[in-house]
Amino acid sequence: MPDHQRWRNNVAANATLGAGLRRLDLPGAAHLELVEGVAYLDESAAVFDAMLEGWARQQTSRMLQPTTINPRLSLMRRFRNFTGEYPWTWVPGDVEDFTSWLCANQRAHSTIRGYQNTVGLFCDCLLDGRYGWQPLCLNRFGDAPVQICHEWNTAAHLNEYEGKPARRPMTHEELQAFFDHADGRVQRIVDSGRKGAMAALRDAMMFKTKYAHGLRRRELVRLDLPDLRPNPHVPARGRYGSLHVRYGKAVRGSPPRRRTVLSVPEFDWAMDGLRQWVEQARPRVRAAAHPMVWLTERCSRVSVNYVDTRFAQLRDEVGLDKALVPHCLRHSYITHLIEFGYPEQFVREQVGHRTASATAIHTSVSNDFKNQVLAWALDRVYAPQGGGPR
């Protein structure tokens, strides 16, 4: 008997044993998603849709967000269309073919690994005896789902950072050119007599605030006025001594993580811009009834997509590297704090990283900083008068 057929027979035997288990009314269980005794016009499609619906319920029960669940469901539909088969007939070769197609279309390493993880998670759910999908498929189709992702046909997560190598922190010169252009755009619109000067001022202050506090895009756009808080140790800054981030990056279905980002003196110029926007410009858009810091002319919250679009427009107008994205401002903040001499633990708390390695992969110090550190080391090792090592 061929190995492939022997493998399938073992799967069928295991599914038969699982059919005698007590059914549990878990979110996503097969008997809760399909009505017994009903004949479907397209039984295979109906069962597959029920599998996806059940998986969505199971993930919702784990407190995962729709922004996580919906892309996973879309991917599984893409995978089914790619294979032309349904989960109870999928084999490991389907993953390998799908991966080869992704590589041919130049998908990023992290994207491919994420897709493989999603396929593996879906198969894990179908194989869990508590949900009853294997016995159901065996009874209806004579075959049952199996795990098609294993260590020999999936990418391993070997590096902490899997982003594009072209993405990097912006240099001080690039930041200066970017912010000067954003500021100049406000004056050019005013001089031309066109509308949009207020939006241009908001954009300039928004990107300065993002850089000066190392914020992610969602953290930036979700800022409200009550999140601008004083630092009792620096009373001169008033309500701009710190930012309370309430929508930090969530982990594994947990609520958004919170943190307080202190305003550091090297970025006082950005604090002055934020103060100008909040106290002088923002009231002119009749925003008294709205708490958000960054709002549109129609008094709605600026979106994450808008941050991407506007950054790309300003970047291209300045002529900067097209690989630069808004997240590079966060990389720049981390790098420049290190260059300013702030301790690693302080930097990690400021940006909300759980591990030192996460902070390290965002850091790319300049040659000037390296030479300065080397000079300190030379002064420490070699005596000023001795002319040689101590």
Summarised one tens digit per residue, pLDDT across range 88-97 is: 999 999 999 9
- What distance in Å separates the CA atoms of residue 190 and residue 170, rounded to the nearest whole number? 29
| Mean pLDDT, residues 306-321 taken together | 95
Mean pLDDT highest for which of 21-25, 156-160, 258-262?
Answer: 258-262
Q: What is the mean pLDDT of residues 43-67?
A: 92
Burial of 261 (0-12, 13-18, 19+ CB in 10 A): buried
Confidence of residue 290 (pLDDT cuts 50, 70, 90): confident
- Residue 381, pLDDT score: 67
> What percentage of the chain carries pLDDT values higher than 70?
82
Note the pLDDT of residue 143: 94
So where are the chain's domains? Answer: 3-141, 172-378
Q: Which of 141, 47, 136, 15 is nearest to 89 (CA)?
A: 141
Does residue 350 contact residue 337 with C-beta atoms inside 8 Å? Answer: yes
What pLDDT is recorded for position 250?
79
Q: What is the mean pLDDT of residues 272-279?
A: 92
User: How does the average pLDDT of the chain come out, rounded?
Assistant: 85
The Cα 382–Cα 120 span in angstroms is: 57
**Residue 65: its pLDDT value, please?**
87
pLDDT above 50: residue 39: yes
Residue with the bigger pLDDT between 79 and 233: it is 79
pTM for the predicted model, two decimal places? 0.72
- Please check whether residue 257 is in contact with residue 249, taking contact to mean a CB–CB distance below 8 angstroms: yes
CA distances from 348 to 31, 247, 318, 352 (A): 47, 17, 31, 6
- The alpha carbon torsion through 268, 272, 278, 280 (nearest 10 deg) reads 170
**pLDDT of the residue at 265:** 92
Question: What does the alpha-carbon distance between residue 135 and residue 12 come to, in Å, rounded to a whole number?
Answer: 8
**What average pLDDT does the segment 255-261 reach?**
90
What integer pLDDT is reported at residue 212 of this predicted model? 95
Phi (first) and psi of residue 367, to 5 degrees: -65, -35
Q: Give the position of tokens 């260590």.
A: 151
- Please check the confidence at residue 21 and state whether its pLDDT lies above 90: no
Q: Residue 63's pLDDT is what?
A: 87
The SS3 of residue 260 is strand
Do 82 and 95 form a contact (C-beta atoms < 8 A)? Answer: no
CATH 3.40.50.720 fits 172-378, yes or no: no
Residue 355 pLDDT more than 80? no
What tokens does 126 get? 């179908």
Least confident of 250-259, 270-279, 376-385: 376-385
On the question of pLDDT at 323 being above 70, the answer is: yes
Checking if the pLDDT of 374 tops 80, the result is no
Q: From edge to edge, which strands make up the β-sheet containing 259-262?
A: 228-229, 242-245, 259-262
Predicted confidence (pLDDT) at residue 55 exceeds the cutoff of 70: yes
pLDDT (mean) for 244-251: 88
Give the span between the Cα atoms of 351 and 77, in whole angstroms: 36
Banded model confidence at residue 3, pLDDT cuts 50, 70, 90: very low
Per-residue pLDDT tens for 87-135? 999 999 999 999 999 999 988 888 899 999 999 999 999 999 899 999 9
CB burial string 118-135: b at 16+ within 10 A, e below: bbbebbebbbbeebbbbb
Looking at residue 133, its pLDDT comes to 94
Other CB atoms within a 10 A radius of the CB of residue 196 amount to 14
Q: How confident is the model at residue 373 (pLDDT cuts 50, 70, 90)?
A: low
Average pLDDT on 159-182 reads 81
